[in-house]
Amino acid sequence: MTQSFQKRRVSVTIDASLLQEIDRLTDNRSAAFEEALRLWRAQRIEAELRTYYQSCSQPNAEFENNWADYAYQQLKETETREEI
């Protein structure tokens, strides 16, 4: 997943054996680090969402689930109507 955003050069210090493993797996260190950071960010967001929903009361969780079901149904109807 390549984005067309402006990129910035950074310097990081990592374990030598980890860098050797990255170099063994890819010729493009920057792409590997970018993908790793995207995955890390997604995992953090997922963990925060999990924490939020685990702290919700049962009625609130049911309300959220009902909205999710409704949104999914609307999406499917739109896809059918728009032939997507």
Q: What is the pLDDT of residue 71?
A: 94
More confident residue, 1 or 47: 47
Q: In whole angstroms, what is the distance from residue 74 CA to residue 71 CA?
A: 5
Closest CA to 8 of 42, 39, 32, 34: 34
The predicted-structure confidence for 12-52, as pLDDT tens digits, reads as follows: 999 999 999 999 999 999 999 999 999 999 999 999 998 98
The model scores a pTM over 0.75: no
pLDDT for residue 1 is more than 60: no
What residues does each domain of the chain span? 18-82
State the distance between the two ends of the chain, measured CA to CA, in whole angstroms: 22
Quote the tokens at residue 79: 């896809």
